[in-house]
Structure 1
Amino acid sequence: MDGSAAPGGPAGLRRRLGVSDAVLIGLGSMIGAGIFAALAPAARAAGSGLLAGLALAAVVAYCNATSSARLAARYPSSGGTYVYGRERLGPFWGYLAGWSFVVGKTASCAAMALTVGSYVWPGHAHAVAVAAVVALTAVNYAGVHKSALLTRVVVALVLAALAAVVVTTLASGAVRADRLDIGADASVGGLLQAAGLLFFAFAGYARIATLGEEVRDPARTIPRAVPIALGITLVVYAAVAVSVLLVLGPDGLAASGAPLTDAARAAGAAWLVPVVRAGAAVAALGSLLALILGVSRTTLAMARDRHLPPALAAVHPRFGVPHRAELLVGAVVAVLAATADVRGAIGFSSFGVLVYYAVANAAARTLTPAEGRPPRWVPVVGLAGCLLLAFALPPSAVLTGTAVLAAGAVAYALRHGRAGRG
C-alpha cells in the first residue's frame, strides 16, 4: 500500500500531510485569537499570578498532548478522543468526548469568526464573520492540503506581529521589572481560573490528532508534531505575556480591552497598532480554519458510528474530504456568527475541551507498554488537571457546560434504549 488512503476501503481519506504540515496546523490552531483575547481576563482572575497560571495551563496541556499523541499513534483515524474513548473506555465515553468537542468547538468557531469581524470592520462584525465562515469552509472543502498551505501563511503573519510587539515593548522605556511580581496578589481560585482561561489558547493540538487519517506515517508523525507545536506555542505565549506585563502591569492588563494594542501604545509605538489589529484578525482566521477542519472530522467519525446522521460520513470522491460534514458545520457556525453574541461561549468551550481531554487522559492510562503507554504520571496529572481547571471556570460556564453534556448523555441513553428494545 502507498498510504494514500486510510483503512476502510475507498471511503478513506487521503494521507498527504507530513510532520511540518501537521506542526503548522497545530500552530495555526493554538497561536490564534486566544493570545490576543485571553490575557486580560486571566489577569483579572489572577492579577500578577498570570504567568503562574500560564505555566499551570502549559503543564496540563503537555500532559494532554502527550496522552493524545500516544493514542493517536495507536489509533490513526479521524475523530481524536472520540475514537480513543470508544476503543479504550467504551462507546459512551467516546460519544461524550465527541459530543463535548463538537458542541464546544462549534461555539468556539463562532467566537473566532466574530473576532475577525470585530477587528476587520467593527461596525459590521456579524456580516464579516459570516463571510469569513463561508470563505474558509470553501477552502476546507477544496482539500486539506490547501488548508495546510494557507496555514503556513497565517502562522508566519501572526508570529511576525507577535514578535514585533515583544521586541518593541521590551526595547521601550516603559518597561518596569517590578511588574513581574508573580502571584503576589493571586488567590488559589483566581490562579486556577486564569489557568483554565489560558488553556483555551493552547487547545489546538487536538487538531493534529483529529487529522489521523490524513497524515503520512501517523505512528511517527503525530507523536513528533504534537510536542513540537506545543513547545513553540508556549515559548511564544510566555514572551508575549512577559512583555505585556512589563509595560502595562497586572492592573493595566486586567483593565485592557485590547492588551497588545495598548502595550504598543504604552511603549510609544503607535505605528504598531494597525499591525497588531491585522495580526489579531489573521490569527482568528487561522483558528477558525483549523476549528472547522477539526469539528468536521469528529463529526465524520461520529456519523460513521451512527451517533450522528450517517449521511455526514460521506467523503468527496475528488477532494477526499468529508464534504457533507464540512458544509453542515459551516452552515451552523454561519448562523451563530450572524445572530449570536458568543463571548460567553468561550468559557463553555473551555469547559467542553477540558472534558474532552479528561477522557483522553483516562484512555491513555489504559495503554500497555507494548502499545506505547506514556509515563504513568502523565495521564494521572492530565486527568486531575483537566477536571480541576474545568470546575474552576466561571460558574455560568460550568453550569451551561454541565447541562449540555447531560443533554448529550440523555440522548445517548434514549437512542441505545430504543436500540435495545428493537
Structure 2
Amino acid sequence: MPDELKRRLGVPDAVLIGLGAMIGAGIFAALAPAARAAGSWLLIALALAAVVAYCNATSSARLAALYPASGGTYVYGRERLGPFWGYLAGWAFITGKSASCAAMALTVGTYLWPGQAHAVAVAAVVALTALNYTGVQKSALLTRIIVAVVLAVLAALVAACLTSTGVDTARLSVGSDATFGGVLQAAGLLFFAFAGYARIATLGEEVQDPARTIPRAIPIALAITLTVYAAVATAVLLVLGPDGLAAAGAPLTDAARAAGADWLVPLVRVGAAVAALGSLLALILGVSRTTLAMARDHHLPHALAAVHPKFKVPHRAELLVGAVVATAAATADLRAAIGFSSFGVLAYYAVANAAAFTLTRAEHRPARIVPIAGLAGCLVLAFTLPPASTLSGAAVLLAGAALYPLRHRSTARLPH
C-alpha cells in the first residue's frame, strides 16, 4: 500500500534510536538544576525518575507490541481509552516534544558557537530534517555513530573523575539540605533526560517483528541509559560535591576541570553538541510520526498523512515539524523550552499508563502496580515542576482539549 511505512528496523537499531533519544543533552544539562533542587539527595531523585521511567517504559512496551503502528501513545489512548484521550496524548506529545526539539537545537548552538546559538540551532534543524526526509535507515546509521561518540566521552569523564586525587566519598552522603518537594522537582527535571524510549514505540510501523522487537528494545535501552546516568552523576558528585554541582554552569566540563583533566574539556563540549544532535534527530522522527498518525485520523490536516513514494517517510509531516521547530529554535529560551517539554511528556506518559491499566491477561498486561505507579508518578512530577512550566504546559493542554470538539465535529463523518 502506498501510505504504509516500510519495516526496516531490528532490535539493535531500535535500541540505538532509544539511546540516541535518551543519552542526549539531558545528562549534560539537567544535573545542575536537579542538584539545586535536591542537594545531596540527587541520586535519590535520579532513582525516583528511573522508577517512573521504568513504569512508563513497561507500559509503553506492552502497548507497542499490541499496536505496532506509528503514533505511540496517541494510538494506545485512542484504542484503549477513546478518541479524546488518544488525541490529548498526541497533542501533548507534539507540542511538548516540539519544544524539546528546539531545546536540543539550542543546546547544539550553545556548545558549538555560543555567540550564534540561534543561527546554529536553525541550521541543525534544517540539516536533520533533510536527513530524515531521505529515509529512516540513514537516520538509524547516524544515530549509531552519535551514540558511540557520546558513550566514549562519558566513559572518559567517569574514568577521569574516579581516578582523580580530588575524589571525596563523603560527598555522596545524604544530608539534610533538601526537601521532599525539592527531590520531586529534581526527579521531574531528571525525567526529561530519560524520556526518549517512546521514540521506539512511535516508530512501531517501521520496526521488524514489533511484537518481539519493541518489548525487548525499550527495557534494554532504558537499562543502559540508567547505568550511564548513575555512573556520570556519581562521578560528578565525587569531584564537585552537591554545592559545586548546583552552582555549575556546565557541570560535566566543570567536573573534568576539577578532576585535573583539562584535556577532556573540549571533548566534553563536542560530546554535548553531538548528544544534542542525536536527541534532536530522534525527536524529529518521533514528532513527525505522531503527526502522521493524527493526520490519518483527521485530528490534524489529512494532507500531512502523505508518505513519500520513494523514501517511504511522512515527508509533509517532517517538513512541517522541521519548519515549526526551526522557528522555535530561532526565538525560544532554552530553560523555558525544557520545562514546557517536561510537562507535556509527563502528560503523554500518564495517558500511556492509563491505557496499559486496561490490558487483560490475554494481552500480556504488566503487573497492575506498574501502570498505577507510572500514572501517579507522572502526575506528581508534572505538578512539582517549576510553576511557570506547570502553568504554561497546563494552559496548552487545556487549549488542545478545547479544540478537540471543534475538530471532532468537523471530521466525524470522514472515513478513517
Contact 2:2 2:307 in 1 (8 A): no
Check if 1:388 corresponds to 2:376. Answer: no
List gaps (5 residues or longer) in structure 2: none
> Which stretch shifts more, 41-50 or 177-186?
177-186
Secondary structure of the 2:383 match is helix
Please name the residue that 1:365 is paired with.
357
Does residue 164 in structure 1 map to residue 150 in structure 2?
no
1:146 to 138, 155, 163: 138
Aligned to 1:290: 282
Q: 2:271 corresponds to which residue?
A: 279
Q: What is the distance in 1 between the residues matched to 2:359 and 2:112?
A: 47
User: Is structure 2 residue 303 aligned with structure 1 residue 303?
Assistant: no
Shift of 1:419: 5.7
1:127, CA displacement in angstroms? 1.1
The answer to whether the Cα contact below 8 Å between 1:189 and 1:392 also exists between their aligned partners in 2 is yes
Tell me the residue number matched to 2:61: 69
What TM-score, normalized by structure 2, do the two folds share? 0.98
Per-residue deviation, residues 78-127 of structure 1 (Å, max 9, x unmatched):
00000000000000000000000000000110110010001001111111
Q: Which residue of 1 aligns with 2:47?
A: 55
Give yes or no for the alignment of 1:346 onto 2:342: no
Aligned counterparts, 1:248-263, within 5 A: 248-263=240-255
Q: 1:184: Cα distance to partner?
A: 3.3
Question: Residues 4-403 of structure 1: matches in 2 within 5 Å?
Answer: 9-182=1-174, 184-403=176-395
* RMSD of aligned residue pairs (Cα, Å): 1.2
Whether the 8 Å contact between 1:292 and 1:330 is mirrored in structure 2 is yes
Aligned counterparts of 2:172 and 2:318: Cα–Cα separation in 1: 44
Decide whether the 8 Å contact of 1:16 with 1:216 is kept in 2: yes
Kindly state the Cα deviation for residue 420 of structure 1 after the two structures are TM-superposed. 7.0
* Offset, 1:421: 11
Aligned to 1:4: none
Of all paired residues, the percent bearing the same amino acid is 80
- Work out the CA distance in 2 between the residues paired with 1:183 and 1:304: 53
Unaligned segments of structure 1, at least 5 residues: 1-8
Cα deviation, residue 186, structure 1: 1.8
Q: CA deviation at 1:245?
A: 0.3
Question: How many angstroms apart in 2 are the aligned matches of 1:356 and 1:270?
Answer: 41
Q: Contact between 1:46 and 1:183, CA under 8 Å: does it hold in 2?
A: no
SS of alignment partner, residue 185 of structure 1: coil
Deviation, 1:340, is: 2.2
TM superposition shift of 1:202: 0.1
Q: What is the Cα deviation at residue 40 of structure 1?
A: 0.2
Aligned to 1:6: none
Write the distance in 1 (CA, Å) between the matches of 2:334 and 2:245: 22
Contact 1:41 1:254 in 2 (8 A): yes
CA contact (8 A) 1:107 1:342 kept: no
